[in-house]
Structures are given as C-alpha cells and as structure tokens.
A and B are shown apart, each in its own frame.
Chain A
Amino acid sequence: MTVSDITKRPKFFAKDNVYLPHIVVIEKIIEETPGVRTFHFNFKDKKLAREFKFESGQFAQCSVFGVGEAPFCISSSPTRPDHLEFAAQRVGRVTNALHRLGVGAELGFRGPYGNSFPLDSLKGKNLVFVGGGIGLAPLRSLIWNIIDNRDKYNKVDIIYGARTPADLCFRYDLEAWDKDKTINMVTTIDREAEGWTGRVGLVPNVLGEVAPKAKDAVAIVCGPPIMIRFTFPVLEKLGFTPAQMLTTLEKRMKCGIGKCGRCNIGNVYVCRDGPVFSYEQIKNFVSSEY
C-alpha cells in the first residue's frame, strides 16, 4: 500500500475532527547530536496505541501545547509498533520547546498525514539510500521496515553523511547496519576531523565513488535541500532515471491536509500530495521552488 489515494489513507481523527490532537506521552529521549533529539512516544489512549497505523514516509503534526504545532516525519518503522519515534532538530519555536521537555511530558499528535514510500514497487529491487544529517530520519523508518522484511528486497546500500562526526545522527542504527552482512553501509563526514578514521567527503561525491549500479535499483534520497539537489545529477550520471529516484520534501506546514495553503509547489501540496516524490514528479512540477 502506498497510500497515494488520499481517501484510502488511515485516519485516526479525534472526535471526527481532523484538527483535534491526540495526547501522546514521551517515553524516552535520545540525544543524537547537540541539536538533535529523538523522542520515543506512545498514545495515552491504550486502545489507540494498539490500533494506530502508518506507513514509512508519512508524517504527523506534533504540538507542544501553548507553543504550537510542527510537522515531523515518523522516524520509526511500522514493523515495530510498540512505540513511535520522531527526531527534532532544535531550530524553531516548537522544536526549542520540545527540547525543553522530559520523559513523561505530553504532546499533541495528529496524523498520520501525507503519502508514503511505495513499498510495493521497491520489492525485489536493489535499494540505494542516500542521507545527510537529520535527513536520515524518514529513511530509517523505511530501512528498518526493509530489514524486517529482508527477503523481499535485494541489495541495500546506505550512504550517509554529516558535517562532522558529532553531527552523525542515529549512531546506534549506523552501527547495527554496519554489522549487518546484507547491507553495504558507508558513513562519511564532510571534512577531516581529529579521531575520525572513516570516510571523508560530501555525500554526493561519496555516492559517485561508491557508484551503485542503476540496473533494477531505486535510490531514496533525503537530507538538506542542497544535498538533495547535488545528489540527483550524480545519480543521473550513474544511469538512474528520474523515476528511479525518490525523495521526501520538507516545507513549512500548518494544517497538514492541504488547506492552509503554504506548502504548495505549484499545484502540488507537499503535505497532501507528498511528502514522498520521485525526481520525475519533481521535474514536472510547475514550480522549481522545491
């Protein structure tokens, strides 16, 4: 299921009102980098915790009451439904407030919203994940999803980078994937740093060096916009067609359901029609404001 059909997406409205949040409780906080934290959380309503469903790639509107809402992709995998996760970089009003909260604090949560990675069309394919910084968050939902159904997919390459060793997120995942014999894990940092013995180089360059084969492959890219823009040409050079490249886009959002207006790129609403798009779709956007 790719939930491209909006009417068929799972809906978990509180009291039939799409804008009312459910209450979720923070169960664990992981300091990923000095500015990024992962929040593990669960629904206060145990019945909802059991029934809630989402797909890798979907996001939710999370709120700190009294401060406001912001969109976060669900970074945990639907194959591990005992709790949910999202990662937040401390950059704005809501994320600053989030970073002041501790375990046990309550948040507002409404979702899931948006489309998801097209799992069905990834089956049997070689998968190339290209991630930068906190951009690994949506990818890791899909990566764990694939690891938990490993026999359905072919080769997996993960090329992940950050500016410095301290900026690498999800280090526990990187270690686990590195040990996984079925995964080719490549971690890189932008510039030489003391104590770093691993690979050095910008993600798009390292991708060019690793040079995954385009045949029967799909590349899934997420990171800072500048990284995404430089990655597509490298993939094209490696023989990937625009249809073989997927990414997930980020925009300022308020409603999450295609009403409030601001996340559009031409006639497309990132919240409702995305956030997952192929580069082919992006190339056909009316606007280049992605």
Chain B
Amino acid sequence: MSKKVNKKDIAQLLKEWSQQFNVLAPSRASGVAEMTEWDGKDTSFLEWYRNTVVPPKASFLPPMEEMFRFRKDEEGYRIEPPSKNGQKQLLFGVRPCDARAMAIVDMTFEDAYKDPYYLEKRRNAVLVGMGCTNPCESCFCTSMGTTPTDSTNVDLMLIDIGDYFLIEEVTAKGKELLAKASGLKEATKSDEAEAEKSKETSYNKVTRKLDTTGIKDRLLESFDDEEFWTKTAAKCISCGICTLLCPTCYCFDINDEMVKGEGARFRNWDSCGFPLYTKMPMENPRSEKWRRVRQKVCHKYEFYPMAFDVIACTGCGRCIRLCPVNWDITQVIESVPQKVKGAK
C-alpha cells in the first residue's frame, strides 16, 4: 500500500529532508518562479505553483558555473580543480515534463565523454515529483511521451487527492526517503481510487495536442525548404528565451575571467538563437535567422531522434508561454510540409 501525506505536513517533511539534503522548492522570491533553496517554512507554492519559469536543469547545469580556477605564480600557472562539494540536492515539486527533460539531457552528458560537473550533481540529487492538477493552456506533454502525473523519471511522485498527496515510491532512493519520514499515513483503497481519478482529470485538462507522426522524416525532407523556414522564422527576434529556458536545451559557452594572475574558467548557458553562437572569424554558417530557427527545431525533432531515438521536447510549453512574439512550436511542427517522396 502507498503512503500519503497531509498537505499541512509538507513543511515538516521538507524540514526532515533538509537535514540530509539541500532542499529546493518552487519560489517566487526573485520575481520569477524557480527552484530555490527552501527557506525552512514556506509551502505557499502548493497554492500558486503550476510550473517554474526556470526549469530544474538550472540545478544541474547552472546558468553560470565555475569549471576551475587558475593562478599564476613564479613557477607558472596552477590549475585548481573545483572541490567536489558533495552537496546532495532534493528538488521538491518537479513536474513530470521537466523530469523527463532531465533524462533526455542525461543522454548528452553521459555520451562518449562524461561531463563531470553535470553528472556529479545529477547523481547526488533526488527528484520528488508533483503531479499537475492545473496544466497550462500551452502544455502538450501528453503528446510528447509523458503525462501530468507520470512518475517515470522521478524518485517519488506526489499525486493530489484533496487534503493529501498520495506518494508513489518509484526508485530505491525514493523508498529510502520515505522510510525515515515521520507523519506519513497509510493510503487507503479509496485514496488510491481518488489518485487514479485525479490522474485522469489532469490528463484530460491537457487540451493542446501535437501530432509528431513522421516528424523526423518530414523535417529531413523539408530541410532545404528555405521558403518554409524563412516564413517560420519571420517573427522571431532571436532573443533566445525559448532555448535558454527550455528544459531540454543544454548548449553552453566557455569563457575565462582573470584579474592580476588569478582567474577562473566558466561555462554559461548559450543559445543557437544567437548569431554569435556559430560565428567564426571568417564566416558564420548560421548568420541568417532562418538557419538558426531551423537548427533549433531540427535539433529537437530531427537530430536528437537520430542520435538518441527520442524527441528532445517534453511539451512543457515554456517556449510558447514565454515567447515575446507568440512563436509557437506546435504550430511550426504541424506546418512542416509533407513532401512527395523523392522530390527535394
């Protein structure tokens, strides 16, 4: 039988977990909804929280991250690798779309050459998911291989059943978290039935649908359709927000800072939407906007499926909600022309 927790006891639960973890929870303290270090008392997010503006990838691939320091003395340069902080993060309230996005980003950072910064944080983290009861109009997760209450990529999953959350144990890590927690109650048969009902209600609230049938091939065939891409990119202002705040986007830049022989190398989020991203001294393969928009769409819906057999989009809807000019990925994907076989 599953456990359940009273919503009033969430603060107590987080307090207990704080002993062992750096607990992150949704907060609007900065003015933007994001996962930040829990302040030890506030659970008001349970009322307002739909999803964060900043995706949880920021906890594993921070917007700016020090890679190492260097220092010059009389014997030359010394590299000071980052100290492994060993900090264990517990992200509370992760939405299933974002949890799936983390699993998708893992594929790149696990691939061939392991990325030590990202993977250390990922290995040390626990994800406590929370099912959506109020998906946004822009959400289309049910078309992208997940659902508002999907527990696949989290350690524990909380399903809203009124005054309580039903807790689904997903992984051994999650089980361990629960074993030591106090204040939990055994869920009854009717609680479980309530959870099933809640899941169905949530699922039906995701009304935006996207048909991705054959999208990889459609994009492949339309790759050189400059007219289509120019039209698609027309209103884009290359602000980069749809990529920077996309939970599956992971592109980064690497830069140095140094003052008087002491400095550090940093990496920071970058975006294929920016012309500088690919700029070389003599030329730029994507100086035109339509090429950059094509890259963004094709990376998610064509190249990632070619590499990892999965579309690098989970339907979280951020790029639709946050776009200043109402560019809509679902409209774009639906409008990719179906070419006649063999014609190009």
A262 near B272: Cβ-Cβ < 8 Å: yes
B285 near A251: Cβ-Cβ < 8 Å: yes
Cβ < 8 Å to B, chain A residues 80-138: 91-92, 106, 108
| Interface of A toward B, CB cutoff 8 Å | 6-7, 14-21, 23, 25, 44, 63, 65-69, 91-92, 106, 108, 224-225, 250-252, 254-255, 257-267, 272, 286-290
Interface bits B247-287 vs A (CB < 8 Å: 1, else 0): 00011111111100001010100101000011111110110
A7 near B112: Cβ-Cβ < 8 Å: yes
A262 near B278: Cβ-Cβ < 8 Å: yes
| Chain A residues within an 8 Å CB radius of B306 | 267
- Would you call B68 an interface residue if the criterion is a C-beta within 8 Å of the partner chain's C-beta atoms? yes
Chain B proximity of A26: nearest CB distance (Å): 12
Chain B proximity of A149: nearest CB distance (Å): 29
Once bound together, how far apart are the Cα atoms of A257 and B307, in whole Å?
15
B116 near A16: Cβ-Cβ < 8 Å: yes
Interface bits B229-263 vs A (CB < 8 Å: 1, else 0): 00000000000000000000011111111100001
- Would you call B74 an interface residue if the criterion is a C-beta within 8 Å of the partner chain's C-beta atoms? no
Stretch at the interface among B75-83, B121-129, B201-209, B332-340: B75-83
Contact A259:B250 (CB < 8 A) given known A21-B79, A264-B303, A266-B303: yes
Known: A106-B77, A259-B250, A286-B298. 7 other contacts (CB 8 A): A16-B116, A19-B67, A66-B256, A254-B270, A264-B295, A286-B220, A286-B223
A65 near B278: Cβ-Cβ < 8 Å: no
Chain A proximity of B301: nearest CB distance (Å): 12
A261 near B116: Cβ-Cβ < 8 Å: no
Contact of A288 among B224, B278, B281, B282 (CB under 8 A): B224
Once bound together, how far apart are the Cα atoms of A258 and B304, in whole Å?
13
Which residue in chain A gives the minimum CB-CB distance to B263? Answer: A66
Once bound together, how far apart are the Cα atoms of A260 and B195, in whole Å?
41
Contact of A289 among B68, B251, B285 (CB under 8 A): B285
B223 near A260: Cβ-Cβ < 8 Å: no
**23 A–B contact pairs at CB < 8 A?**
A6-B113, A17-B116, A19-B68, A19-B254, A20-B81, A65-B258, A65-B263, A67-B256, A68-B256, A225-B283, A252-B279, A254-B270, A258-B112, A259-B109, A260-B251, A260-B270, A261-B250, A261-B252, A261-B277, A262-B251, A265-B285, A272-B113, A289-B291
Contact of B76 among A44, A66, A272, A288 (CB under 8 A): A44
Once bound together, how far apart are the Cα atoms of A5 and B67, in whole Å?
27
Once bound together, how far apart are the Cα atoms of A261 and B224, in whole Å?
21
A20 near B115: Cβ-Cβ < 8 Å: no
Once bound together, how far apart are the Cα atoms of A191 and B207, in whole Å?
66
Chain A proximity of B342: nearest CB distance (Å): 16
Once bound together, how far apart are the Cα atoms of A288 and B223, in whole Å?
9
Which residue in chain A gives the minimum CB-CB distance to B68? Answer: A20
A17 near B251: Cβ-Cβ < 8 Å: no
Contact of B254 among A17, A68, A251 (CB under 8 A): A68
| Chain A residues within an 8 Å CB radius of B250 | 259, 261
- Would you call B72 an interface residue if the criterion is a C-beta within 8 Å of the partner chain's C-beta atoms? yes
- Would you call B302 an interface residue if the criterion is a C-beta within 8 Å of the partner chain's C-beta atoms? yes
Q: Considering only CB atoms and an 8 Å cut-off, how many residues of chain B contact the other chain?
A: 51
3 tightest CB-CB pairs across the interface, nearest first?
A66-B258, A261-B251, A91-B281
A259 near B79: Cβ-Cβ < 8 Å: no
| Chain A residues within an 8 Å CB radius of B278 | 251-252, 262-263
Once bound together, how far apart are the Cα atoms of A63 and B251, in whole Å?
20
- Would you call B114 an interface residue if the criterion is a C-beta within 8 Å of the partner chain's C-beta atoms? yes
Which residue in chain A gives the minimum CB-CB distance to B285? Answer: A289
Once bound together, how far apart are the Cα atoms of A19 and B250, in whole Å?
16
B303 near A267: Cβ-Cβ < 8 Å: yes
- Would you call B108 an interface residue if the criterion is a C-beta within 8 Å of the partner chain's C-beta atoms? yes
Chain B proximity of A286: nearest CB distance (Å): 6
- Would you call B111 an interface residue if the criterion is a C-beta within 8 Å of the partner chain's C-beta atoms? yes
- Would you call B228 an interface residue if the criterion is a C-beta within 8 Å of the partner chain's C-beta atoms? no
A260 near B286: Cβ-Cβ < 8 Å: no
| Chain A residues within an 8 Å CB radius of B114 | 18
| Chain A residues within an 8 Å CB radius of B224 | 288
Chain A proximity of B312: nearest CB distance (Å): 11
Once bound together, how far apart are the Cα atoms of A26 and B170, in whole Å?
55
Chain B proximity of A65: nearest CB distance (Å): 5
Name the residue in A106, A254, A258 with the highest tally of chain B Cβ atoms < 10 Å from its Cβ: A254
A258 near B255: Cβ-Cβ < 8 Å: no
| Chain B residues within an 8 Å CB radius of A251 | 278, 280, 285
A258 near B113: Cβ-Cβ < 8 Å: yes
B291 near A19: Cβ-Cβ < 8 Å: no
Once bound together, how far apart are the Cα atoms of A260 and B116, in whole Å?
14
- Would you call B70 an interface residue if the criterion is a C-beta within 8 Å of the partner chain's C-beta atoms? yes
Which residue in chain A gives the minimum CB-CB distance to B279? Answer: A252
| Chain A residues within an 8 Å CB radius of B70 | 65, 108
Chain B proximity of A285: nearest CB distance (Å): 10
Which residue in chain A gives the minimum CB-CB distance to B118? Answer: A259
A252 near B280: Cβ-Cβ < 8 Å: yes
B302 near A286: Cβ-Cβ < 8 Å: yes
Name the residue in B113, B115, B223 with the highest tally of chain A Cβ atoms < 10 Å from its Cβ: B113
Contact A254:B282 (CB < 8 A) given known A7-B112, A259-B113, A267-B306: no
| Chain B residues within an 8 Å CB radius of A224 | 282
Contact A260:B254 (CB < 8 A) given known A91-B282, A106-B76: yes
Which residue in chain B gives the minimum CB-CB distance to A69? Answer: B254
Chain B proximity of A106: nearest CB distance (Å): 5
Interface bits B94-113 vs A (CB < 8 Å: 1, else 0): 00000000000000110111
Name the residue in B117, B255, B265, B272 with the highest tally of chain A Cβ atoms < 10 Å from its Cβ: B265
B302 near A267: Cβ-Cβ < 8 Å: yes
